[in-house]
Structure formats: structure tokens, C-alpha cells
Amino acid sequence: MLIDGVVRSNVIAGQAVHEAWGGVVPELASRAHQEHIVPVVQQALAQAGVEREQLSGIAFTQGPGLIGALLVGTCFARSMAQALGVPLLAVHHIQAHVLAHFVRDDQPRPVPSFPFLNLTVSGGHTQLVLVRSPLDMEVIGSTLDDAAGEAFDKGAKLLGLPYPGGPLVDKYAATGDPLRFTLPLSAMPGLDMSFSGLKTAFMNLVRNGEARTPGFAERERDHLCASLQQAIVGQLLGKTRKAARELEIRELAISGGVSANSSLRKEFAAMGTAEGWTVHIPPFAYCTDNAAMIAVAGAFLLEAGRTASLDVVPHANLG
């Protein structure tokens, strides 16, 4: 929740129910949204110290995402906005990740200057975005198959690690040798990326290793994690560097859940130093999906007068 542009509450309801299934189950996700949305909103209001009648707008995620969960949020937001007689603000999920850099809280930090290049990496999306203004963004490169986050999670699952596996790959990679195993880098032309071949190569590496020597995956876990992580981060940074040089952009940023990865954060900062670029890396709290980034995106929409009608509908594949 924003007050005068500053985040005063950012409540998150965890969904541990997915851990038993090794990934997000859409039906369980929508049920969890239904169960938590009212108490979460009440808690956010209480933490911010405001009454519902003091709100000047209601921002919600229109898409992209799981349609069941989006329906829950959209219906609640429409009803609340109508009941309070305030503007409704339909936020693009992935654009909100980019605007997470503009979250203001009790920790002052510099924000990107326009235009800037943003590497958006999450479980379902991997994009290079040219950001000309808060409401003017152009995707100039993206994955043509799987997302970087999917590669992390699939690799973790092959190693028998619990969901969510990405953070565990990051953890074990810290004590592994990234040069122990060689994994292929995509040769996609231009600024587009691909991670399906890497996923297949890693699967074959693990399965062939187990076939030759049972217990291979467990014994080599740290080295496998380090090698997988290096291959993913290497492709992300390579494309980002190429785009920044071609566009002569000197302000770079990363966002999305995978931007919490320690290797990506470290190497992204090192690349900026080597190239003389200014880089922006969000606090961990604003990397994964969170209400603060939706509120900030909604504030920009409200300022521009771009409000939504009360018959707005969610879109799972919002472009």
C-alpha cells in the first residue's frame, strides 16, 4: 500500500501448498487466493494505518498469469473500487516488475534514469526491455521457448531438490565448481534467448551420470548446480551486454524473481563496473511477485489518467 508514493505495507501470503506437488498447481493457487485475499487486504490497511475510505485508487494485476488467480484478484478489485467509488487501475504484471525499481520505502536508493535497459527474469518470463518512461516499454529480446526461471526449477527437480528449487541451486552452487561440467550456450541470433536446449543437456548429463554411477547426482550436486547456474547467468548477461552496446544505453537494471539469484546479482554488478554502466538491482523484497510493485505501477497509471472500467477482465496472456 502506497501513501504519498511511499510503501507503507507490503503483505505477502505464502502458498506452501505447492511444495508437496513440486510446482504451482493452478487450481490450488486460485483457492489460496480466495482464502487469503480478504485477510491480506485487512492486514495491509492495518499496517499502513489507514481506513478504506482514505484510498484514492485500487490497483490489481490484470495479467499475464494464472487465470484462476487473476480472476480472484480482478473480481475483488472491481468490487472494492466500485464500493469505495475510487479509480480502478489495471496493471501489467511484467511491467510492474520493471517498475519495482521505483518503489520508495525507508531505505533510500537511486532509481534508473530514462531510458534504461531492464533484464526481466522470472519463473515464466525472460525479457530484455527498453524502458523509455514508466508507461512506454518495448520488449527488444525474449526467450523463444523456456524462461530462465524454468531452467533453474527444472534443473533442481532433476537433482531431487524440493520446490521452489531455484534458490537451492543458488545455495549449493556457492560451494561448487562451475567448470566441472560443460553445458551448451544458446546461439540464438539477435537479442532473443533459448533455454530448452540447456534444460535437455542438463537432463542428459544427470541421467547419464546416474546410469553410469548410481548416486552421481547427489555426490556431484554442488558442482552440477554451479555449472547450471553459470550457463543460465552467462546467457542472460551475454544478451544484456549485447543489447546495451548496440543501443548505447548506460543505465541497466534487473528485476523479477530470478534477480534474487546471488550469482546474477554479482555478475550483473561486475559487468556494469567493467563497462562503465550504472546498474540497478532491487532489494530482495521486490524481486519476486509483491504488492508494492503493483501499487507503484498503479500510481503511474493513476497519474497519467489511465484508469480501467469496472467491466475490465483479466488476461492470462496479456501482451
| 81/209 same-domain check | no
Containing domain of residue 7, as a range? 2-99+289-303
* Residue 65: DSSP 8-state: S
| 22/72 same-domain check | yes
Contact 8, 47 (CB under 8 A): yes
| 72/194 same-domain check | no
Q: H-helix or E-strand containing 240? A: helix 221-247
Helix ranges restricted to H, 49-139? 67-84, 93-99
Neighbours of 43 (CB within 10 A): 14
Classified as helix, coil or strand, 111 is coil
Is 48 inside any structural domain?
yes
User: Model-level pTM?
Assistant: 0.92
| 153/134 same-domain check | yes
CATH classification at residue 198: 3.30.420.40
Spatial distance between the Cα atoms of 48 and 304, rounded to a whole number of angstroms: 25
How many domains does the chain divide into? 2
| 194/131 same-domain check | yes
- 150-170: pLDDT as tens digits: 999 999 999 999 988 999 999
| 87/142 same-domain check | no
* Residue 208: DSSP 8-state: H
- 45-77: pLDDT as tens digits: 999 999 999 999 999 999 999 999 999 999 999
Asked whether the bond before 214 is cis by omega within 30 degrees of 0, the reply is no
pLDDT over 60 (residue 111): yes
∠ CA 284-73-99, rounded to 5°: 35
Is 310 inside any structural domain?
no
Is 319 inside any structural domain?
no
| 123/237 same-domain check | yes
| 122/76 same-domain check | no
